[in-house]
Amino acid sequence: MTLGLVSWWLPCVAAGLLACGTDTGGGGGGGTGPDVEGYVTIQPGVFSMGSPVNETRRNDDEWQHQVTLTRAFALKATEVTQGEWFAVTRTRPSYFANCGDECPVEQVSWYDAVAYCNALSLSEGLPRCYADAGGADYDAADANNETTPTWRDGLDCQGYRLPTEAEWEYAARAGTVEASYNGPVGNVDCDFDASLDPIAWYCGNSGDTTHPVGRKRANPWGLYDMLGNVSEWSWDWYEVYPAGAAQDPRGPAAGDVRVSRGCSWLHYAVCARAAYRSNEVAPHERYFNFGFRPARSLSF
């Protein structure tokens, strides 16, 4: 299957190694599976979600707890680019349009991202994972009307969808346990940070703009820009983590804001941590530092 405009210079993509990471932290990890071009196959596994109490500038809502993911999934190796968005929607919403087709699409709402996932599935003959209130396929009109979608078949749906918050953090960590997959984050503002600079665009190195995807070093599982460039929408409504261990969590049934993950070109270094959760942006809002990357459930 093909997604379209995956940049030729991405090392893993160019080598044909879409699951090029190795698991460094126990069960699960990047590995072989069905070939979905431009995506990394993520194996099931168990990890500690959240941050330890001694992590620099952690937030109170990052309570560390064990999460088990029982399903393999594919996650896009990069954020959705402006070129990829245009190929599916024929629209160009990005504030940083002059950055070009290889830069991440932004100024897209959570609803827009959901509609894009359905449109991408339709273009490839895959099941559409999201439905509107009447049971029809969720589309751009529903997104513009800010209609809350239903997730058909949940994790059993094998079309494109947004990752859950747990899937996102599991993939971002890629078997690592520190604040970033390149070690601890030492700064909290826009100063230079030796751990972040090789892997993420944040306010300390971005020059106040987005950048072409994949120019920073990937994490051990072959995923790029997980902690920088644009913040990324996840499926979940925001809530305080439940007490105790969880299996395949999908967040609460309702809420006020959807969780976004990852740092952006605008954010302080303290936000460029795998455990950082943003609960400040409503799903209808479109900001110039918000984008996304789709996922797909896999069966072997």
Give the start-end residues of each E strand in the chain: 29-30, 39-43, 45-49, 65-69, 73-76, 130-131, 150-151, 160-161, 231-237, 246-247, 258-261, 277-278, 290-291, 295-297
DSSP 177: -
Which segments of the chain does DSSP mark as H helices, in order?
A: 11-14, 82-89, 110-123, 140-144, 165-173
Structural contact between residues 246 and 166, judged by C-beta atoms closer than 8 angstroms: yes
What burial letters (b/e) apply to 44-68, b meaning 16+ CB within 10 Å? bbbbebbbeeebebbbebbbeeebb
* pLDDT score recorded for residue 140: 98
Helix H or strand E segment including 293 = none
How many domains does the chain divide into? 1
Global confidence as pTM? 0.90
For residue 7, the cross-strand partners are none
Domain that holds residue 27: 1-300
Q: Alpha-carbon distance 267 to 252, whole Å?
A: 27
* pLDDT score recorded for residue 118: 98
* pLDDT score recorded for residue 191: 95
Dihedral in degrees, nearest 10, Cα atoms 56, 59, 60, 62 = -90
* pLDDT score recorded for residue 35: 62
The CATH number covering residue 189 comes to 3.90.1580.10
Structural contact between residues 128 and 101, judged by C-beta atoms closer than 8 angstroms: no
Which of 153, 147, 138, 173 is CA-nearest to residue 48? 173
Encode the chain (300 residues) as per-residue pLDDT tens digits.
Answer: 333 322 222 333 322 333 333 333 445 667 545 567 899 999 999 999 999 999 999 999 999 999 999 999 999 999 999 999 999 999 999 999 999 999 999 999 999 999 999 999 999 999 999 999 999 999 999 999 999 999 999 999 999 999 999 999 999 999 999 999 999 998 889 999 999 999 999 999 999 999 999 999 999 999 999 999 999 999 999 999 988 999 999 999 999 999 999 999 999 999 999 999 999 999 999 999 999 999 999 986
Token pair for residue 73? 């999934």
